[in-house]
Amino acid sequence: MSIVITALPAWPRVRRGANGHPVQTLQHLLRQRGEDLAVDGVLGPLTEGAVRAAQAEKGVDVDGVAGPRTWAVLVEPVQRGSAGEAVRAVQREAVARDRSRGTAPVLVVDGLFGPRTEAWVRGFQGALHAGFPEIVEDGVVGPVTWRCLVSGMLSQ
């Protein structure tokens, strides 16, 4: 029996005590906006405080939980030529999905959106496009692609 998904997944809800995916991505996005956080994959008091600060700044309910409205204001489009923590978040998502078991990761997490990162993003978008026509294979990580990444699509 095959399962057919007919709608994009919801943005995840991550709160204090969460660890692993997508906490590292959240931490990179908070660093992109200037927060001084370690990217350790643990949503502890410092990360929760940074989430609260971002929520207050962006006019989102301040509860320290990264839910749909919080993710929507934290993600920013990145594409070839972009640099910074948001790009690192995309690259970390790529590495987490790498099943090649090779000696070198699929991408280097360097924060530079070059041709290899663009090729990976296009491949990710292309793998999802058949089931989700709203996903465009353009190499740009916009809101829909971000949602697919942080929700864990193709990570199993």
Cα gap 102→124, rounded to integer Å? 19
With 80 as the cut, is the pLDDT of residue 26 above it? yes
The candidate with the shortest Cα–Cα distance to 116, out of 142, 144, 124, is: 124
What pLDDT is stored for residue 65 in this prediction? 97
Cα gap 151→156, rounded to integer Å? 11
On average, the pLDDT of the chain sits at 91
Using CA of residue 67, residue 70, residue 74, residue 77, what is the dihedral sign?
Answer: positive
Burial class (CB in 10 A: 0-12, 13-18, 19+), 86: buried
C-beta atoms surrounding 97 within 10 Å: 18
With 60 as the cut, is the pLDDT of residue 114 above it? yes
φ/ψ bin of 35: left (φ > 0), alpha (ψ from -120 to 50), beta (otherwise): beta
For residue range 65-86, list pLDDT tens digits in order. 999 999 999 999 999 999 999 9
Mean pLDDT calculated for residue range 134-146: 94
Tokens encoding 65: 């939980």
Tokens encoding 49: 């405080």
Confidence category of residue 156, pLDDT binned at 50, 70, 90: low
Domains along the chain? 12-74 (1.10.101.10), 77-156 (1.10.101.10)
With 50 as the cut, is the pLDDT of residue 3 above it? no
Residues with Cβ within 8 Å of 40's Cβ and at least 6 positions away in sequence, in order, are: 24, 27
